[in-house]
Amino acid sequence: MDIRRAALITSIACVLGLLMPVWNGLQRMAALESKPPGWWIVAVIVILFSAIPPVFYFSLYRNEGTLRFSRREQSLALITALMLGVSQSIRLPQLVGSLAYEGATSVLTPERGPWTFGDSSTVSGILFDAAYSTLRERNE
């Protein structure tokens, strides 16, 4: 897969990953009883700022040129990936420990309702992160 195709997939995944969080946020903002008179201006600003990542990835897809990153930027990306791995591995024992039974409850059998928009939003965010990771790997 080339960088342009990865950028297109990332752009689509980003749009899908942002639809529900932005929609939920706008619904909550509109449902406020004590909303200020110009609340719709804030809503437009939220939508515009949320559109920045998918527009960037789509413009990256449309770009015919080659991308070149300096060694310094490549080193920064590697250090960032290492720090993310360290932070995730620090939290890993807590995650594994939460799988054990504590009294009558367990993380494996949560007591919760049916699938919600928040769950769909989480899955969309994970898919966006996976598509973005593919883009970053292909670029290096």
3, 138 contact by CB (below 8 A): yes
pTM of the model: 0.51
**What's the CA angle centered on 81, arms 14 and 95, to 5 degrees?**
85
Predicted local confidence at residue 4, as pLDDT: 80
Summarize pLDDT for 89-102 with one digit per residue, the tens: 887 777 666 666 55
How much is the average pLDDT of 113-122?
A: 69
Q: Which residues pair with 102 in a beta bridge?
A: 105
Summarize pLDDT for 42-51 with one digit per residue, the tens: 888 888 888 8
**pLDDT beyond 60 at 129:** yes
- Residues belonging to the chain: 140
| pLDDT level of residue 86 (50, 70, 90 thresholds) | confident
**pLDDT beyond 80 at 38:** no
**pLDDT beyond 70 at 62:** yes
Summarize pLDDT for 7-32 with one digit per residue, the tens: 888 888 888 888 888 888 888 877 87
